[in-house]
Chain A
Amino acid sequence: MAEIRNYTLNFGPQHPAAHGVLRLILEIDGEVIERADPHIGLLHRGTEKLIESKPYNQSIGYMDRLDYVSIMCNEHAYVMAIETMLGIKVPERAQYIRVMFDEITRILNHLMWLGTHGLDVGAMSIFLYAFREREKLIDCYEAVSGSRMHATYYRPGGVYRDLPDKMPQYLASDFRTDKELKVMNENRQGSLLDFIADFVKEFPKSIQQYDELLTDNRIWKQRLVNIGIVSASRAKQLGFTGPMLRGSGVAWDLRKNQPYAVYDQLEFDIPVGVTGDSYDRYLVHMEEMRQSNHIIKQCVNWLQKNPGTVMSDDHKVSPPKRTNMKDDMESLIHHFKLFTEGYCLPEGEVYRAVEHPKGEFGVYLISDGANKPYRVKIRAPGFAHLAAMDEMVRGHMLSDVVTIIGTQDVVFGEIDR
Chain B
Amino acid sequence: MQDLKASLIEVFGECHLVEAFDELTLTVDSQDIIKTCLKLRDFFSFDTLIDLCGVDYLTYGQSDWNGNASASGFSRGRNHQGSEDRHEQRFAVVYHLLSVSKNKRIRVKSFVDEAEPIIKSVTDIWVSADWYEREAFDLMGILFENHTDLRRILTDYGFKGHPLRKDFPMIGEVEMRYDEDLGRVIYEKVSIESNINIPRVIRK
Interface string of B175-204 (1 = CB under 8 A from A): 000000000000000000000101111111
| Docked CA distance A250–B98 (Å) | 14
Q: Are B96 and A364 in contact (CB under 8 A)?
A: yes
User: A6 on the interface (CB 8 Å rule)?
Assistant: no
Given known A-B contacts A239-B48, A239-B49, A350-B21, A366 and B128 have beta carbons under 8 A apart: no
| Docked CA distance A236–B139 (Å) | 26
Q: Are A40 and B154 in contact (CB under 8 A)?
A: yes
User: B107 on the interface (CB 8 Å rule)?
Assistant: yes
A304-351, CB < 8 A from B? 340-342, 344, 346-351
Q: Are B155 and A370 in contact (CB under 8 A)?
A: no
Of B23, B48, B83, B103, the residue contacting A369 (CB under 8 A) is: B83
Q: Which residue of B lies closest to A341 (CB)?
A: B201
Interface string of B12-32 (1 = CB under 8 A from A): 000000001101010000000
- Chain A residues with a Cβ closer than 8 Å to the other chain, count: 56
A256-296, CB < 8 A from B? 257-258
Of A233, A351, A368, A386, the residue contacting B202 (CB under 8 A) is: A368
Q: Are B163 and A49 in contact (CB under 8 A)?
A: yes
Given known A-B contacts A348-B21, A350-B21, A387 and B154 have beta carbons under 8 A apart: no
Given known A-B contacts A237-B128, A364-B51, A369-B83, A344 and B203 have beta carbons under 8 A apart: yes
Residues on B with beta carbons closer than 8 Å to the beta carbon of A208: none
User: A375 on the interface (CB 8 Å rule)?
Assistant: yes
Least CB distance from B167 to A in Å reads: 12
Q: Are A375 and B55 in contact (CB under 8 A)?
A: yes
Which of the segments A139-147, A219-227, A377-385, A392-400 contacts the partner chain?
A: A377-385
Instruction: Kindly count the residue-residue contacts between A and B in the assembled complex, taking CB atoms under 8 Å apart.
Output: 131
Of A50, A241, A383, the residue contacting B170 (CB under 8 A) is: A50
Q: Are B50 and A377 in contact (CB under 8 A)?
A: no
Residues on A with beta carbons closer than 8 Å to the beta carbon of B105: 351
User: A191 on the interface (CB 8 Å rule)?
Assistant: no
Q: Are B164 and A49 in contact (CB under 8 A)?
A: yes
| Docked CA distance A257–B56 (Å) | 33
Q: Are A239 and B126 in contact (CB under 8 A)?
A: yes
Given known A-B contacts A46-B163, A236-B48, A377-B51, A41 and B153 have beta carbons under 8 A apart: yes
Least CB distance from B148 to A in Å reads: 12
Least CB distance from B23 to A in Å reads: 6
Q: Are A238 and B127 in contact (CB under 8 A)?
A: yes
Given known A-B contacts A340-B198, A379-B50, A383-B131, A368 and B155 have beta carbons under 8 A apart: no
Given known A-B contacts A41-B156, A238-B128, A370 and B200 have beta carbons under 8 A apart: yes
Q: Are B107 and A237 in contact (CB under 8 A)?
A: no
Residues on A with beta carbons closer than 8 Å to the beta carbon of B107: 349, 351
User: A131 on the interface (CB 8 Å rule)?
Assistant: no
Given known A-B contacts A49-B170, A351-B96, A364-B51, A387 and B155 have beta carbons under 8 A apart: no
Q: Are B163 and A54 in contact (CB under 8 A)?
A: no
Least CB distance from A34 to B in Å reads: 16
Given known A-B contacts A41-B155, A237-B127, A416-B154, A366 and B163 have beta carbons under 8 A apart: no
Residues on A with beta carbons closer than 8 Å to the beta carbon of B20: 348-350
Given known A-B contacts A49-B170, A239-B50, A364-B53, A372 and B200 have beta carbons under 8 A apart: yes
B103-127, CB < 8 A from A? 103, 105, 107, 126-127
B91-106, CB < 8 A from A? 94, 96, 98, 100, 103, 105
Q: Are A362 and B61 in contact (CB under 8 A)?
A: no
Given known A-B contacts A84-B21, A349-B20, A364-B94, A379 and B51 have beta carbons under 8 A apart: yes
Q: Are B128 and A239 in contact (CB under 8 A)?
A: yes
Of A55, A351, A360, the residue contacting B198 (CB under 8 A) is: A55
Least CB distance from A317 to B in Å reads: 13
Given known A-B contacts A44-B154, A416-B154, A371 and B201 have beta carbons under 8 A apart: yes
User: B173 on the interface (CB 8 Å rule)?
Assistant: no
Given known A-B contacts A239-B49, A368-B83, A384-B128, A257 and B103 have beta carbons under 8 A apart: yes
Residues on A with beta carbons closer than 8 Å to the beta carbon of B198: 54-55, 340-342, 371-372
User: Which of A239, A340, A364 has the largest count of B CB atoms less than 10 A from its CB?
Assistant: A239
| Docked CA distance A239–B47 (Å) | 9
User: A53 on the interface (CB 8 Å rule)?
Assistant: yes
Q: Are B154 and A41 in contact (CB under 8 A)?
A: yes
Residues on B with beta carbons closer than 8 Å to the beta carbon of A360: 50, 98
Q: Are A85 and B21 in contact (CB under 8 A)?
A: yes
Residues on B with beta carbons closer than 8 Å to the beta carbon of A41: 152-156
| Docked CA distance A342–B21 (Å) | 22
| Docked CA distance A107–B154 (Å) | 29
Given known A-B contacts A370-B201, A387-B130, A377 and B53 have beta carbons under 8 A apart: yes
Residues on A with beta carbons closer than 8 Å to the beta carbon of B126: 237, 239
Given known A-B contacts A40-B153, A49-B163, A383-B131, A349 and B25 have beta carbons under 8 A apart: yes
User: A356 on the interface (CB 8 Å rule)?
Assistant: no
A sample of 6 cross-chain residue pairs with beta-carbon separation below 8 angstroms, ordered by A number, consists of A40-B153, A233-B47, A237-B128, A349-B20, A360-B50, A364-B51
11 more A-B contacts (CB under 8 A) besides A347-B204, A379-B51, A383-B132? A49-B163, A49-B168, A237-B127, A239-B50, A258-B103, A341-B198, A347-B83, A351-B51, A370-B63, A383-B131, A387-B128
Chain A interfacial positions (CB closer than 8 Å to B): 40-41, 44, 46, 48-50, 52-55, 84-85, 233, 236-239, 241, 245, 250, 252, 257-258, 340-342, 344, 346-351, 353, 360, 362, 364, 366, 368-372, 374-375, 377, 379, 383-384, 386-388, 391, 416-417
